[in-house]
Amino acid sequence: MTADKIRSRAEAVEQVAQWHREGKRVVFTNGCFDIVHLGHIDYLEKARALGDALVLGLNTDASVSCIKGPLRPVVNENARARLMAALEFVDLVMLFDEPTPLELITAVQPDILVKGDDYTVDTIVGADVVLARGGSVQTVALVPGYSTSSLIQKIVAAYGGD
């Protein structure tokens, strides 16, 4: 079941350690993933293609609200976690409440850290941790014109008065 991919931090650390023992290259990325769209799917698929297993750090509702504002998220954390876990190219999902994923990255010790190309390696949280242990930090091209914020604006413009 897809819900089995949703793990606590301790369970995720244990699973990643097992994958490392099996010689698998573990990729880590994170985000809010509120209102899943083509940009999210493309990004996660590209991230997973860089290694053998993709670990996704998912912001909790409280964390999303701090980052995106009090009206977000639109989709609650349990639903977002299930949606992400349902994707065949996502191997593990764990929620995090901290302002950044640094603690997760430090705990999980991924081989590859991935963010979108709207970041540079020097601005990616946790890059130093991954590079220090011999891993790599990658950026992947984002699909132009897709963001949750622009999708929300489009919906409000079309249906806000109804």
pLDDT at residue number 33: 94
pLDDT at residue number 17: 97
pLDDT at residue number 5: 97
Question: What is the b/e burial string over 83-119, where b = at least 16 CB atoms within 10 angstroms of the residue's CB?
Answer: bbbebeebbbbbbbeeeebeebbebbbbbbbbbbeee
Sheet order of strands, 53-59 included: 92-96, 53-59, 26-31, 112-116, 136-140
Cα(109)–Cα(28) distance, integer angstroms: 9
Structure tokens at 57: 């750090």
CATH number for the domain harbouring residue 47 = 3.40.50.620
What is the residue range of 10's domain? Answer: 2-159
pLDDT at residue number 150: 84
Block means of pLDDT (10 residues each) for the chain, length 162 residues?
92 98 98 92 97 98 91 92 97 95 97 95 96 97 84 85 58
Cα(12)–Cα(88) distance, integer angstroms: 17
Domain count, the chain: 1
pLDDT at residue number 162: 58
pLDDT at residue number 138: 97
pTM: 0.92
